[in-house]
Structures are given as C-alpha cells and as structure tokens.
Amino acid sequence: GHLLDSKRYAIIGADLRDLPELEEKLKKCNMNPQLPTLLVTECVLVYMTPEQSANLLKWAASSFDTAMFINYEQVNMDDRFGQIMIENLRRRQCDLAGVETCKSLESQKERLLSNGWETASAVDMMELYSKLPQAEVSRIESLEFLDEMELLEQLMQHYCLCWATKGGHALGLKEITY
C-alpha cells in the first residue's frame, strides 16, 4: 500500500476528498488530535473543487485542538498572466478545479478563516523572496544564471504561501506573522 509508518511519524497515501477514508487511515497510524499538528499542502487545494477543499479545511480545523495549516499554491489568477497559466494547463488536460479561490491573497486568507481557522496570513513568493537576506539571494542566484528575471518575478507573483492557526495559545501560534 501507500503507507510508511515508524515510531516517530507516518506517511499515508489518501484521497483528500474522501475524509472518512483519510480519518480511518490516520487513526490506524495512531494520530492524536490533542497533540499540536502541522498540516502542509503544496499545490493541492487548487486541484479540488472549492467545496471539496472547504470540506478538507473544515475537517482539519475541527479535528485538531492545536494546529497550523501551511499552503503553497497559485494566487492572482484573474490577471492576464494567470489566465495564460490556466489556459496552458487546460491544453494539457490539467484543470484547476479550485482556481476561483486563488484570485488574491485576501481570497486565500478568507478561504481559511471561513472554514474554521482562527488566524490566517498570506504573502506572494515575490514579496517573500525580496525579504530574504541579500547574501542568501546572491547565493541562490549564483546557482543558475537567470536571464529572464522579469518572467521569474511574474511567476513568483502568482504563487503564495498562506498559513492559518487554531489554538496553540501557549505555543505562540497566533503570533506567527509575516
């Protein structure tokens, strides 16, 4: 199957749209919803319908006493660059069923807040990149020559990192901001 289990962690394969199956698999791995839990997604929710991703987000917010959800995914998809991205993916039979929730940083945050999370923040990758220490930017840019900096900037303006928290007052989760 799609399971890697050890004493310290478990990795499972599951259809995130099938919450009863997901929950069953997590219980078999001795998931403890009372422990602080970090949930991470990378370009996952955009492939689900808004209803399916909302159900997943609600389930996660209601299942764990203390949790943080981190999501990396598309944003600003209403502009011309975003529309070209969507068209290119569609030509490859890759439909972004949840792209309507990726209109802006605000829509990304609102999706989290409206589905049970207490706090939510979001930043596009260009802004995040611009805040890195200059020495690290120089190191990164020396790894490979970038002659299309404008294209990279456009691409990074169309991806974001957003995060939400629930509980964790003693851990300082609410204080995690950008």
The answer to whether residue 166 sits within a structural domain is: yes
What is the arithmetic mean of pLDDT over 157-166? 96
Domain containing 103 — which CATH number? 3.40.50.150
The answer to whether residue 150 sits within a structural domain is: yes
What is the pLDDT confidence band of residue 174, given thresholds at 50, 70 and 90? confident
Tens digits of residue pLDDT in 37-85: 999 999 999 999 999 999 999 999 999 999 999 999 999 999 999 999 9
The answer to whether residue 50 sits within a structural domain is: yes
Highest mean pLDDT among 111-115, 146-150, 169-173: 111-115
Q: Which two tokens stand for residue 83?
A: 């529309």
The answer to whether residue 8 sits within a structural domain is: no
The answer to whether residue 64 sits within a structural domain is: yes
Task: Determine the Cα–Cα distance for residues 142 and 138; give it in Å rounded to an integer.
Answer: 6
Q: Is pLDDT of 131 > 80? A: yes
What is the arithmetic mean of pLDDT over 132-147? 87
Task: Determine the Cα–Cα distance for residues 15 and 26; give it in Å rounded to an integer.
Answer: 12
Q: Is pLDDT of 101 > 90? A: yes
What is the arithmetic mean of pLDDT over 111-117? 98
Q: Please state the separation of Cα 87 from the chain's center in Å.
A: 22
Percent residues over pLDDT 70 in the chain: 99
Q: Is pLDDT of 97 > 70? A: yes
Task: Write down the mean pLDDT value for the chain.
Answer: 92
Position with higher pLDDT, 146 vs 102: 102
Name which of 117, 84, 114, 88 is nearest 101 in CA terms.
114
Structural domain that includes position 52 = 32-175
The pLDDT value given to residue 177:
72
Our count of domains for the chain comes to: 1
The pLDDT value given to residue 178:
67
The pLDDT value given to residue 1:
62
| 3 state SS of 163 | strand
Task: Determine the Cα–Cα distance for residues 68 and 120; give it in Å rounded to an integer.
Answer: 10
What is the arithmetic mean of pLDDT over 97-122? 96
The pLDDT value given to residue 156:
95
